[in-house]
């Protein structure tokens, strides 16, 4: 099995001999439920004269080049014999194995990956005063601030503790409930609350929700880190998929909650801060004409099939089948084709008319393509002809097909799907 070399470069104005670093490269192995290290942790290593790290050898690996890893670096500032971490948190970013192989462990955007700067100042005598020195903080502040709920507001959807709590909950829940070997169909779970899976709420972000749902159950470590990078840096990269929302998306207008008639009491949350950061950012990054900057903006949140295809393939998913129909609904043979892959545990992302789902009470006179779902198993037909399908939609997994509907009804509301291998 091949072995690779890992190295990167630190940005700093501190004398190089005053800095040390830790570095490790890893991903989460859901089968063993522990970290798999491509590069075993290296501790308190000195930098080279140009602030480059030493070249460290990885373990043997057969992972494909598209495999995404987390690269973790901790920097230490030495004064005498004592070294202290330069930040409360290590620097962690996502990189694909092909980036690592090609020596491209660097910031994928304008900001540095691992860096530490100090503001130079000459000491003064105590009589002169003015010995307070302002240091530059090496980690950037949060990027998302809702106009209606600024920093400090009790309902701030992007408040750090609230955001991190939701992010950790999803990561832990996915690892616990979606750890399975190979391509077997994962077990069916009903989300206990809307924070367990991506949930677009009252938005039209079903396409991004389908993508991030698959990412969450396949690589919860990548999901969690990508969400964090978006929150902190305002941008992230998953393999070749660059997610970089515009300024208006990072400063959305309008309410994030539905209020009672008094205008103060919150009845429900329209979308969580975590879901806005991930889902809206992905959608806005792909919009060329319209900015996505408000929960109520339905048009700017719509995702066509070519965007779904690009998001998955650029993130490293391998597409193996596609029978999306633009001009007509699916036929029985096409559903059987998707069933073939669903039984093997592949990711089946399907385009449907949302009126088919039990959460939509009204019926469509002419079913149209309005909603993206993810199959969590094959379409099944009971003895009495009733159709059922366990699927992901609106933050939940269960059989969401309206009761007492037959295969003809299902076909009229389905417009094919795309099939991807689970991401490793």
Residues 64, 68: Cα–Cα separation, whole Å: 9
Segments of the chain scoring below 50 in pLDDT: 108-110, 130-138, 181-182
Q: Is the pTM of this model over 0.85?
A: yes
Q: Residue 282 in contact with residue 243, Cβ under 8 Å? A: yes
Residues 152, 219: Cα–Cα separation, whole Å: 33
- The dihedrals phi and psi of 390, each to the nearest 5 degrees, come to -70, 125
How high is the pLDDT of residue 244? 94
Largest pairwise CA distance in the chain: 93
DSSP characters for 181-218?
A: STTPPPPP---SSTTSS---TTSS-HHHHHHHHHHHHH
Residues 394, 213: Cα–Cα separation, whole Å: 10
How high is the pLDDT of residue 137? 40
Model confidence over 238-287: pLDDT tens digits? 999 999 999 999 999 988 888 888 877 888 888 899 999 999 999 998 87
How high is the pLDDT of residue 370? 87
Model confidence over 232-249: pLDDT tens digits? 999 999 999 999 999 999
Token reading at 167: 């992010």
How high is the pLDDT of residue 122? 59
Q: Residue 238 in contact with residue 317, Cβ under 8 Å? A: no
Token reading at 351: 């385009």
- Alpha-carbon Rg for the chain, nearest whole angstrom, is 24
């Amino acid at each position: 099995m091949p072995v690779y070399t890992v190295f990167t470069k630190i940005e700093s104005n501190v004398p190089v001999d005053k800095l040390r670093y830790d570095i490790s490269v890893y991903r989460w192995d859901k089968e063993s439920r522990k970290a798999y290290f491509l590069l075993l942790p290296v501790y308190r290593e000195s930098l080279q004269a140009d602030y480059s790290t030493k070249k460290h050898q990885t373990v043997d690996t057969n992972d494909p080049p598209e495999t995404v890893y987390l690269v973790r670096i901790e920097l230490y500032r030495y004064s005498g014999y004592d070294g202290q971490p330069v930040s409360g948190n290590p620097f962690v970013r996502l990189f694909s194995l092909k980036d690592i192989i090609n020596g491209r462990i660097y910031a994928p955007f304008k900001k540095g990956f691992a860096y530490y700067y100090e503001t130079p100042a000459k000491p003064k005598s105590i009589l002169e005063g003015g010995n307070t020195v302002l240091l530059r903080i090496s980690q950037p502040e949060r990027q998302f601030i809702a106009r209606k709920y600024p920093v400090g507001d009790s309902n701030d959807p992007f408040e750090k503790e609230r955001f991190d709590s939701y992010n950790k909950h999803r990561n832990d829940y996915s690892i616990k409930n979606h750890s399975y070997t190979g391509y077997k169909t994962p077990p069916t779970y009903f989300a206990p609350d809307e924070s367990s899976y991506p949930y677009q709420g009252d938005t039209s972000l079903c396409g991004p929700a389908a993508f991030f749902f698959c990412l969450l159950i396949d690589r919860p470590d990548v999901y969690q880190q990508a969400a964090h990078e978006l929150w902190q840096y305002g941008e992230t990269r998953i393999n070749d998929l660059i997610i970089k929302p515009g300024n208006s998306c990072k400063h959305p207008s309008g309410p994030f909650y539905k209020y009672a008639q008094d205008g103060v009491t919150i009845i429900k949350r329209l979308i969580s801060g975590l879901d806005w950061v991930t889902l809206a950012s992905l959608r806005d990054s792909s919009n060329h004409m319209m900015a996505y900057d408000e929960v109520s903006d339905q048009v700017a949140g719509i995702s066509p099939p070519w965007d779904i295809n690009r998001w998955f393939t650029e993130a490293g998913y391998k597409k193996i089948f596609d029978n999306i129909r633009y001009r007509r609904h699916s036929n029985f043979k096409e559903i059987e084709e998707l069933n073939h892959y669903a039984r093997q545990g592949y990711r089946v992302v399907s385009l449907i008319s949302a009126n088919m789902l039990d959460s939509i009470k009204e019926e469509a006179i002419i079913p149209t393509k309005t909603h993206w779902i993810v199959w969590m198993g094959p379409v099944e037909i009971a003895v009495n002809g009733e159709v059922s399908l366990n699927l992901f939609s609106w933050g939940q997994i269960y059989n969401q097909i309206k009761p007492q509907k037959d295969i003809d009804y299902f076909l009229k509301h389905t417009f094919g799907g795309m099939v991807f291998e689970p991401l490793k």
